[in-house]
Amino acid sequence: MCVPAAAGLLLALAACTTTPTEWTRPETAAAQRDRDQKECEDRAYWQALDESQSTRQLYPPWTGTGFGWGPPFRMSVESPSYFARGPRQWEFTDYCMRQRGYVLTPVRPAS
């Protein structure tokens, strides 16, 4: 019984120890990178929002908006298109930054 618990703990710890990353491009100052990243994130936010809004249902119970009738009607209040906005926003940001020549690289720990 102890082995599965230990294995689960190790998996949980491994999931928490992700390597930090940052966008890099040769001969680009950090201020320019920050401006580019902000612009890409802003565009990605609106693109993902537009995409999610165009795919949600526009009639009751308005599923996909996070609001619904819920109990006692037992209707689902989720729509994968709306609630997948965060990952979709990341995809747009990633695409935008890569189109500008940036590469996501691991951050080296300070010595």
pLDDT in tens, the chain (111 residues): 455 665 566 556 555 668 899 999 999 999 999 999 999 999 999 998 888 776 555 555 544 445 554 455 555 544 445 556 888 899 999 999 999 999 999 998 876
Q: Which of 97, 105, 86, 107 is nearest to 33 (CA)?
A: 97
- Length of the chain, in residues: 111
The pTM of the full predicted model, rounded to 2 decimals, is 0.61
Spatial separation of the C-alpha atoms in residues 61 and 56, rounded to whole Å: 11
